[in-house]
Amino acid sequence: MRTVEGKSFGKIILLGEHSVVYGEPAIAIPFPSALITTKISESVGSCQLKCFNYTGDLMLAPESLIGLVELIKEIMKRLKQELNNFDIEIESTIPAERGMGSSAAVAAATARALYAYFDQALSDEELLDLVSISEKIVHGNPSGLDASIVVLEKPLYYIKGQAFEQFDFNLDAYLLVADTGEKGNTKFAVSSVKDFVDRDEKGKMYVSDLGQLVIDARKVFNDHDEIGLGNIMNKVQANLKALGVSNETLDKLVSVALANGALGAKLTGGGLGGCMIALMKSEADAKKVSQALLANGAKNTWITEMKSEGVK
Ligand code: PMV
């Protein structure tokens, strides 16, 4: 029996979530700990799907999987293949809806696996186009950042509608990612920010301040200034909180990180749950912050060096 695999991983937004939807820049890094693997196996009959929250006929999958189902149908159309005589299994090392871009990674891994199964080459342009189809269904009005990073698989300085810009950095610092254990809701968070921006000048101001902070961060990265980056992360968190996308759990973990020596801490991704990140000067500091976060309710933590080659 023939089996073929496709892989992809999620991302962490260092700076620029939400404001990126309005054309402001964002900086994101691939996050290999959030690995998605899609397996396609030869079978007989209608396509069966096995994934985190569903096992059964692909065409009877629940509404929550509509982005994936539509993506698979589109791929079959492009490859001129029938949707039967193979099964799809999707495995993930992280839970869904944690602000790590798992939906884009699932789409990319599945597209890669299906093209490989049918022995077709898949260009970056076509992969980006396919991932964007499912992201639009899942997120409503996505900036395209998640789709871009799963294609590029390198740190990215991203502006909506512009070509990929790889972003290399080398800071003498450590980044910690902590999972609150709560599902985020990116679609809801993005639409509530839009309501705020549409009705209140303050909303527009927070978004443009967030954009300026990302521009400032470029200089801080160039100067290898981790203290400056920590300060920017704290200002970004204050703006995201003012926009209404933080919550009690994220605020608590941010305070715990800062009280235990982090240079800066903020939510990452859509917010209202999901994950937070913190920056520390040394690995020992990062471990100390990790212990404090786990003792205060974080469900999982990951530590990585702040070097682009360390990230991917
Ligand atoms: O929650 P995630 O990982 O899908 O990230 C969302 C990032 C936003 O800026 C809030 C939305 C977007 O489309 O970029």
| DSSP track, 93-123 | SS-SSSSS-HHHHHHHHHHHHHHHHTT----
Residue 97 to residue 159: CA distance in whole angstroms: 23
> In this model, does residue 310 exceed pLDDT 80?
no
Tell me the CA–centroid distance for residue 244 and ligand 1, in Å: 15
What one-letter code names the amino acid at 37? T
Question: Global pTM?
Answer: 0.91
pLDDT tens, position by position, 118-173: 999 999 999 999 999 999 998 878 899 999 999 999 999 999 999 889 999 989 99
Q: How many percent of the chain have pLDDT more than 90?
A: 87
pLDDT (average), residues 105-120: 97
Q: What top-level class would CATH report for the domain 3-158?
A: alpha beta
Q: Contact 99/240 with Cβ under 8 angstroms?
A: no
Residues 6+ apart with CB under 8 A from 274: 97, 98, 99, 100, 179, 180, 182, 183, 184, 250, 267, 268
For the chain, domain boundaries: 3-158, 170-307
Q: If pLDDT is split at 50, 70 and 90, which confidence band does 59 have?
A: very high
pLDDT recorded at residue 139:
82
| Ligand 1 binding pocket mutation candidate from 22, 146, 149, 268 (most atoms within 8 A of CB) | 146
Q: At what angle do helices 226-242 and 248-259 cross, to 10 degrees?
A: 160
In this structure, of 22-26, 182-186, 285-289, the range with the lowest mean pLDDT score is 182-186
Helix (H, G, I), strand (E, B) or coil at 154: coil
DSSP state of 160: T
pLDDT tens, position by position, 239-268: 999 999 999 999 999 999 999 999 999 999
If we measure between CA atoms, which residue out of 125, 133, 174 comes closest to residue 302?
174
Residue 83 to residue 273: CA distance in whole angstroms: 36
- CATH T-level topology, domain 170-307: Alpha-Beta Plaits (3.30.70)
Instruction: State the distance between the two ends of the chain, measured CA to CA, in whole angstroms.
Output: 33
Residues flanking ligand 1, CB < 6 Å = 17-18, 20-21, 99-101, 139, 142-143, 145-146, 184, 186, 190, 269-270
In this structure, of 83-87, 135-139, 272-276, the range with the lowest mean pLDDT score is 135-139
